[in-house]
Every structure is written in structure tokens, then in C-alpha cells.
Amino acid sequence: MGNLDTLIQDLVIANRILAREEVVDAYGHVSVRHPDNPNCFLIARSLAPELVGLEDIVELDLDGQPVRPEDRSLYLERFIHAAIFAARPDVMAVVHAHAEDTLPFGIAQGTKLRPVIHSGSFIGTEVPVWDIADNFGETNLLVTNMAQASDLAKCLIAAAITAPTPLMPPSPTLLMPSGLSGLGASSVTSTSTAGVSRAVERGGHAAPPRVIAP
């Protein structure tokens, strides 16, 4: 199995795990940069993550457009991935989710998302917040074009430049701080595997305690 085939298989597994862990709903998505062409990335067609298979993976350019003819519907917010990959050459994977556990931290002013145990240290001391209304006014809260997505990506660039602490540096080869808004959360990582792990862990630091009945 070649490197591309393995990456596609990992991407399918990432979709399934994120759906199983309830990190992504029917509209969440995960992508990886193409291993042979850094100006392209791989992402599923518009499909609930829990249903994604090998045949559902498509290749898009950094404008969010398919590199070969594609009749199937694509995610409306695929531009988030395109803009982040374009702005951050070091990023190899992106996860965008509408996880309810993290949504309040993009809205509430008084409480910030922060790590509470060592496994969440990748979050950093300051999680940037991006509000689409700041530069685009009243919208449907979806990032549906490159202008909006590029504005979001600038938030991640600024976060990468500002080092939090010596113990939690914004390493360009590992997870970078997430960009939160009222519409969800976007995380960048070095691999799809790391993206899955960090996305699940991030939700754990925001979620209320879960009680499992006997």
C-alpha cells in the first residue's frame, strides 16, 4: 500500500472515530494535506463523517476547488481547510467541528478554554477567538468562501507567532491553538491521527462531567 493510499485510509478512519466520539456531527469534517502535492489536500465529499468510505475522499486545491471533475456535493465550509493549508505550510491536518462542548467558549467573555491536566497542554494558555461578524457582518455563520476562510486563518497565524509559555510552545510541527467562533472549532495538527486525538481531548477539557448509570 502506497503512502497516498495509507493516508486516505487514515483519513477515513479519522472521520469514523471523530463521529463515534461525537466530536463531529453530520457537518463536521477532517482533512489532510496531499503527501505528494502540498498545494492540494484530501477531504471527504459532503457526507456525514460516520458514513465516509475510501471512495468518498476527494482532492481539492488551496482555493477549495476539486482538481478533477467532481459531480458530487462538497462541504460548504471546505474553504476553512483550504485557507489554513495555504496560510500555514507547516500544517498537515485540519479538523473542523461543531462540538457543543466547546461552543460556549467562543461566545462567553468571562471564561476561556484552558487545559486542566497535562494531556491538554497542547491547547496552550490562550485559545484565539474568531468572530465572522467582525469583518463580514450578518451572515448565516457558515464560512462559505475564501475571503472569510482567509480571515479565519489569520487568527491561527497570529496564535502561532505568539508563544504562550516555554512549557507550551506553539511548535509548527505539532498541534497549534484552535480557532473558536460561534459556529464551531477548527484545529490544526501535524497528522490526521494527532488531529483525532487532540480534537477528542479538547472536548474533554470543555465538557461537563459525564455520569454513567450502572
- Tens of pLDDT, residue by residue over 17-30, are 989 988 888 778 99
In the predicted model, what is the mean pLDDT of residues 96-120?
75
Contact call for residues 202 and 102 (beta carbons, < 8 A):
yes
Given a cut of 50, is residue 210 above it in pLDDT?
A: no
- Rounded CA gap, 131 and 37, in Å? 31
Given a cut of 90, is residue 60 above it in pLDDT?
A: yes
> How many Cβ atoms from other residues are within 10 Å of residue 150's Cβ?
17
Catalytic residues: 77
Q: Which CATH architecture has domain 3-206?
A: 3-Layer(aba) Sandwich (3.40)
| More reliable by pLDDT, 97 or 203 | 97
All residues at 6 or more sequence positions from 24 whose CB lies less than 8 Å from its CB, including other chains: 15, 18, 30, 49, 95, 97, 98, 99, 199
Specify the pLDDT at position 191: 65
Given a cut of 60, is residue 174 above it in pLDDT?
A: no
Specify the pLDDT at position 123: 72
Domain edges within the chain:
3-206
- The single-letter DSSP state of residue 175 is P
Length, in residues, of the chain = 214
In the predicted model, what is the mean pLDDT of residues 197-203?
57
pTM exceeds 0.85: no
